[in-house]
């Protein structure tokens, strides 16, 4: 007997307040899946948040619906914590028909990186070309580490290695920022 082919997409985002989980599954024609849900475990949390969904869902995850905070309106939302989120999707029979993904939400780190790039380029005509090129190369290396950390978590299933790179990158960003006063 054929089974549904479950699949999710979690598009990259630079929005620190949300991320999206999209159903990209292939369902057997004529057999409607039942008891569909996604479960999300946020970094540092021990409580899984479960959402009942229908095939073809498109769920926007934020701090309020993860129950990290209570927000009555969008402007009350806080940034989601950076880190590895475990996202599981299941349909009946749920113990046999599920997929699990790891998602590295690093929008806070990425925003810090982009701010440093913008700052460097705003000073391009003020600092020497040698200093500019050196700082730009340093930031390019940091950008590559950001991408590598995300790939390790999401594509290679190596969440611990990805988190090590994430932490290393945070230290490099902080060091760059401290050593770049006035550059």
* Same domain? 134 vs 160: yes
Residue 3 maps to a domain: no
* Same domain? 23 vs 112: no
pLDDT, one tens digit per residue, over 4-51 is: 899 999 998 989 999 999 999 999 888 889 999 999 999 989 999 999
Tokens of 112: 């810090």
* Same domain? 88 vs 125: no
* Same domain? 135 vs 61: no
Kindly indicate the confidence band of residue 74, based on its pLDDT and cuts at 50, 70 and 90.
Answer: confident
Q: CB–CB of 25/6 below 8 Å?
A: yes
Instruction: Tell me which residue of 43, 42, 61 sits closest to 51, measured CA to CA.
Output: 61
**Domain finish residue from 105, 132, 160:** 105
State how many domains the chain has: 2
**How far is residue 121's CA from residue 132's CA, in Å, rounded to a whole number?**
8
CATH code for position 59: 2.60.40
Placement of tokens 């970094």 in the chain:
43
Tell me which residue range forms the domain holding 39. Answer: 8-105
* Same domain? 34 vs 100: yes
Phi and psi, residue 2, nearest 5°: -75, 155
Residue 2 maps to a domain: no
Residue 60 maps to a domain: yes
Residue 51 maps to a domain: yes
**How far is residue 140's CA from residue 171's CA, in Å, rounded to a whole number?**
15
* Same domain? 67 vs 151: no
pLDDT, one tens digit per residue, over 121-177 is: 999 999 999 999 999 999 999 999 999 999 999 999 999 999 999 999 999 999 998
Please tell me the predicted confidence (pLDDT) of residue 181.
61
Say if pTM beats, i.e. exceeds, 0.85.
yes
* Same domain? 95 vs 128: no
* Same domain? 122 vs 67: no
Instruction: Tell me which residue of 124, 112, 87, 101 sits closest to 170, measured CA to CA.
Output: 112
Phi and psi, residue 108, nearest 5°: -65, -45
* Same domain? 36 vs 98: yes
pLDDT, one tens digit per residue, over 78-102 is: 899 999 999 999 998 888 889 999 9
């Amino acid at each position: 007997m054929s089974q549904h082919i479950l699949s999710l997409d979690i598009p990259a985002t630079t929005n620190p307040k949300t991320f999206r989980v999209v159903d990209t599954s292939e369902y057997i024609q004529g057999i409607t899946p039942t008891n569909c849900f996604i479960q999300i475990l946020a970094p540092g949390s021990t409580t899984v948040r479960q959402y009942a969904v229908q095939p073809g869902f498109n769920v926007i995850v934020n701090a309020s619906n993860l129950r990290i905070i209570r927000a009555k309106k969008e402007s009350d939302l806080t940034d989601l914590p950076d880190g590895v989120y475990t996202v599981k999707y299941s349909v009946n029979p749920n113990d046999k028909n599920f997929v699990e993904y790891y998602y590295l939400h690093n929008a806070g780190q990425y925003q810090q990186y982009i701010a440093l790039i913008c700052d460097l380029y705003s000073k391009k005509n003020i600092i020497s070309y040698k200093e500019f090129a050196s700082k730009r190369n340093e930031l390019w290396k940091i950008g590559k580490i950001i991408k590598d950390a995300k790939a390790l978590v999401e594509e290679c299933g190596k969440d611990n290695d990805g988190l090590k790179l994430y932490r290393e990158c945070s230290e490099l960003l902080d060091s760059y920022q401290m050593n770049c006063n006035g550059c």
